[in-house]
Amino acid sequence: MSTQTDKDSSDNIIGLEQSAENGDKKAQYNLAHLYYTGEAVEKDLNKAFYWYQKAAENGIKFAMNRLAIHYYNGEGTEKDLEKAFYWCQKAAEKDYDEAQYNLALLYENGEGTEKDIAEALYWYQKAAENGIEIAMNSLANHYYNGEGTEKDIDKAFYWYQKAAENGIEIAMNNLAIQYYNGEGAEKDLEKAFYWCQKAAEKDYNKAQYNLALLYENGEGTGKNLEKAFYWCQKAAETGNKVAMNSLAIYYYNGEGTEIDLEKAFYWYGKAAENGNESAMNNLANRYYNGEGTEKNLEKALYWYQKAAEKDCNEARYNLALLYENENGIENNLEKAFYWRQKVTENSKIISETFKINKLCNECKQMCSDYQWCQQYGPIDSWNFDKLQWNRWNSQRGYIGYEVILKDLNNSSCLDNKFLNEWKHHYNLMSYAKEGSLRKCLPKIVKFKWQEKLKLLKKIILGLKVIHESCLAHCDLHDDLMKKCWDTDPENRPTVTELEYKISEWIKIINDEYEVRNIDKKLKNVMNEIVEADKALEEKQTNISITSITYPSSCYYTSRLLTEILSQNSECSGCTIKDYYFGQ
C-alpha cells in the first residue's frame, strides 16, 4: 500500500509539472508551494522561487505575495527589497489582505521604498478592515501615537479591542493598559486585569510583568505577592529585563518568596547584562556589600560606572562616594567631584548639601568645600509620624516627584526641621527666573512701597483662588505663616481680611505718593512706608552691584562662601577661592 501511495504521489507531481509547464497558472502556484514546504517532493527554494515567479507573472495574487517574500528574505534568489516592494504592491492592489499588511510594513520601515507613515497607515487600515488581526493592532498603535494621522484614543481603543478579541496577545496587553489608564474607555481595573491575564497566559512577557505589578499592588484583583512573584519570574525567564530586576528585588526582600541573596544576585546580573541601569546599580551594591557574592570593590566600581553612564543618578552618587573615600579603590577627588556635579545637574528636585574634601591648590593640604547633591533619593512626601521626608523607592527605577507644593495635613505638628527645608527651597526658587538673588537686588531696591503693596495684593488674590480650590501653597513670610498656623483658628487671618487690609493701604497712598488724610495711627504707619522709600532712593547712589561670572554648572546662586569656607576649612594660612551653592 505504501508503494502504491508513493507511486500515486509521484504521478501527481509529474502531472502537476506538466500542467505548470503548459502555462496552467494554478498548477504553477501549487507546484511552487510544494517545493517551498517540501510536501511530496524534496524542498527546493530555487524551484519554489521559479514557479512562484511564473504564477505571479500570470496574475496569481497569492504568488505575487510569496514572490515578494522570497525577494525580501533572499530565498531561492538574491535579496532585493525593491523587487519585494514591487510584487507586494501588485498583490496589495489586487486586494490581497496579507500583502496589504506586508506593504504597510515596507512603507513604515522604508524598505524597498521611501519611508511613508501615511501610506503605511492606509494599508494597515485596508488590511485590518479585511480581517488581518495583527494589522488591527498596528492600526491601533498609529491612532494611539498619532503616527500618520491625528492622535485618536477612541479609535485606538476600538482597534485594540478588535485585535484582542481575535486573539492577538500584544493587543490584549495594550487594551489592558487603556482600561488601566482610562483611555478611550472609563478606567476599569478589573477589565485591565482580565485582558492582562489573557495576554500573560499566551506567554506575552510584557503582559506577564504587568500582571505581576497588578498582583503586587492589588489592582483589579486581590493583592497577592506569591502570584506577583510567579508572573514576574515567568516574564524574567522569557527575557523581560525589567522583570529580571524586579525578580531580583523579590528575592532580595523576600517578597512572595523566601529571601535568597544568591538568586537576587543572579537576576540583578542578568538584568544588568541586558542593559537595565537600575539593575546595574543594584548589582554594584551587592558587590560592594558582599551580598549573594564575595565583596568585590573593583566590580562594584565597574557596575556603578556603567549605570552612571546610563544616567542613573543613584549610581552617580555611589560612584562619587567610592572615589572620595579610602575603601580599597583609588582615591580620586576630581572624579568624585565630577560625579557629584553630574548628580546635581540632572536632579529635578530639591538638592541637599554635602561636604567634600579636596586639595587646596596652594599648599596641597585637605580643605572643605560645600556643594549641592541629591543624597538620599527623590523626595516623595512628608512623614508626619517620623517627622522626616519619605524617599521614593529607587530600586525599581521609578522617578521621584518634583517637589513644588506640599499638602499640609497636620500643620500644627510641624517642627523647625520641616519649615527650614521648605523655606530654603522657596528662597531658592523665588530667584530662579533671574538666575540669582544678586541679579534681583537692583530691581528689588528700586521698588516703591506702593508698587510692593499692589504686588502683594495680586499675590493675595492668587492665594484666595488657591484657598477656594482647597490647594496648598508656599509661605509668603515665616512670621505670617506661623500666625496662620495659630492653634486657635479664630486668631488666624483670612485671605479676605488680608485682601481688604492691603487694598485699604493702597488707597491711602495716591499717585503722587502722598499720604491722604486719615486717622493719626494709620497715617504714622503709612508715613513710615513713604520715608523708607525715600531713604532707599538716597542710598541707591552708593550701591554698587558687582558683575560676577558664575560657573556654568551653577543654575541658581545665593552668596559668596569665602567667609564660611574660611571658618570651616581645616587648611589654615591659604587663600580660598570663592565657591557658590549651585543646583
Kindly list the structural domains of the chain, giving each domain's residue range(s) and its CATH number in brackets, ordered by start. 12-373 (1.25.40.10), 394-563 (no CATH)
> Which of helix, strand or coil describes residue 390?
strand
Neighbours of 568 (CB within 10 A): 14
477: pLDDT strictly greater than 50: no
Average pLDDT, integer, range 296-304: 92
382: pLDDT strictly greater than 50: yes
152: pLDDT strictly greater than 50: yes
Phi, psi for residue 257 in degrees, rounded to 5: -160, 175
Q: What is the pLDDT of residue 364?
A: 34
pLDDT in tens, 511-534: 444 555 556 666 666 666 667 666
Pairing of strands 388-391, 379-383: antiparallel
Handedness of CA 69, 72, 73, 78 (dihedral sign): positive
**CA Rg, the chain, in Å?**
36
41: pLDDT strictly greater than 70: yes
Average pLDDT over the chain, rounded to an integer: 76
pTM above 0.85, yes or no: no
For residues 87 and 334, give the distance between their C-alpha atoms in angstroms, rounded to a whole number.
62
Could you tell me if 485 and 412 are in contact, meaning their C-beta atoms sit under 8 angstroms apart? yes
The amino acid occupying position 522 is L
Q: What is the pLDDT of residue 338?
A: 84
273: pLDDT strictly greater than 80: yes
Average pLDDT, integer, range 276-290: 93
Q: Map grid coordinates 544588568 to a residue.
A: 272
Average pLDDT, integer, range 487-505: 68
Average pLDDT, integer, range 38-57: 93
> Which of helix, strand or coil describes residue 122?
helix
Average pLDDT, integer, range 163-184: 96
pLDDT band at 448 (very low <50, low <70, confident <90, very high): low
Q: What is the pLDDT of residue 146?
A: 95
DSSP state of 359: E
Among 423, 254, 244, which residue's Cα sits nearest to residue 350? 423
30: pLDDT strictly greater than 80: yes
pLDDT in tens, 326-369: 666 777 778 888 887 787 666 543 334 333 343 334 333 333 33
Q: What is the pLDDT of residue 236?
A: 96
Average pLDDT, integer, range 204-225: 95
